[in-house]
Amino acid sequence: MESKRIIISGATSGIGCEIAKLYITNGYKVGIMGRRIELLNKLKEKSPENVFVQQLDINSDDATTNFQFLIDSMGGLDIYFHVSGIGYQNVPLDYDKELRTAETNCKGFTRMITYAFNYFAQQGKGHIACITSIAGTKGLGASPAYSATKRYQNHYLQCLAQLSAIRKTKITFTDIRPGFVATDLLNDNHHYPMLMKKEFVAKEAYKAVAQKRRIKVIDWRYNLLVMAWKLIPNCIWERLSIKN
């Protein structure tokens, strides 16, 4: 039987790199993308014949051309897994950090996800998975652009899931929402409680995609937290001092 083909954006480090390793180990044809080509090439060494490398910046105009080039070199695509993202704690509200986050997590995300949607719609089927965050489930004042852009991602995936139903395409969507994970993204000298290992989060994400889960919060403690903070009325929430 032909092996399934998956492309992962943001496979150079952190959660995306661990997810890529799992798909490689499980016999998939794996396309890996990101800006740091040397890290992609290192990952390819794990299984040179099954791993396909494409240097790609999701904020660049040629991103979709490069994405299509990778799809073609793999002979097609079954799953697109969007992991690329940036974020900052930004209590001083640095303007550049906010704009850069919006650019990558909204514009870059939309560029890649809409391309994957249209590709799968034309093909008649496919699966789009994304690492968003629990940060999108409530407005977090300590990281405004990060929290708001993750909300955008949650919402956009829901819009496309409904659009897929309207257009009667067979596209599956999985929105994966982890709490804090020990990766470079949080390497900023702040203290983060309930920190999870990236290997654990990748395994849970892999399982959620295999089970075609629509939404998966990782882990159960964060699931409880999200349920609890959704119950807090906005007038109280906006007075809380939540920061790390």
Nearest C-alpha neighbor of 37 from the set 52, 19, 18: 52
Q: Which stretch binds ligand NAP (CB under 6 A): 66-74, 77-85, 115-123, 158-166?
A: 77-85
Sign of CA dihedral 143, 146, 148, 151: negative
Q: Per CB under 6 A, does 160 bind ligand NAP?
A: no
Q: Kindly list the distances between the CA atom of residue 133 and the CA atoms of 57, 68, 74, 85, 88, in Å, as whole numbers in the listed order.
A: 21, 27, 29, 10, 13
Is the link from the previous residue into 219 a cis peptide, with omega within 30 of 0? yes
Q: Per CB under 6 A, does 102 bind ligand NAP?
A: no
Q: Which stretch binds ligand NAP (CB under 6 A): 57-65, 116-124, 155-163, 220-228?
A: 57-65
For the bound state, the minimum distance from the C-beta of residue 184 to ligand NAP, rounded and expressed in Å, comes to: 4
Q: Per CB under 6 A, does 181 bind ligand NAP?
A: yes
For the bound state, the minimum distance from the C-beta of residue 101 to ligand NAP, rounded and expressed in Å, comes to: 9
Whether 139 and 147 have beta carbons less than 8 Å apart is answered as yes
Q: Which residues contact 240 (CB under 8 A, 6 or more apart)?
A: 232
Q: Which stretch binds ligand NAP (CB under 6 A): 29-37, 64-72, 73-81, 160-168?
A: 29-37
At 147, the amino acid letter reads S
Q: Using CA atoms, how far apart are residues 158 and 242, in angstroms rounded to an integer? A: 27
Comparison of 169 and 226: residue with beta carbon closer to ligand NAP: 226
Among 41, 47, 50, 59, binds ligand NAP (CB under 6 A): 59
Q: Which residues contact 206 (CB under 8 A, 6 or more apart)?
A: 19, 22, 23, 26
Q: Per CB under 6 A, does 147 bind ligand NAP?
A: no
Q: Which residues contact 35 (CB under 8 A, 6 or more apart)?
A: 12, 55, 56, 57
Q: Which stretch binds ligand NAP (CB under 6 A): 21-29, 32-40, 43-51, 162-170?
A: 32-40
Q: Per CB under 6 A, does 87 bind ligand NAP?
A: yes
Q: Using CA atoms, how far apart are residues 239 and 225, in angstroms rounded to an integer? A: 18
Q: Per CB under 6 A, does 185 bind ligand NAP?
A: yes
Among 21, 32, 34, 101, binds ligand NAP (CB under 6 A): 34
Among 64, 104, 143, 164, binds ligand NAP (CB under 6 A): 104
Residues that bind ligand NAP (CB under 6 A): 9-10, 12-16, 34-36, 56-59, 83-87, 104, 108, 131, 133, 178, 180-181, 183-186
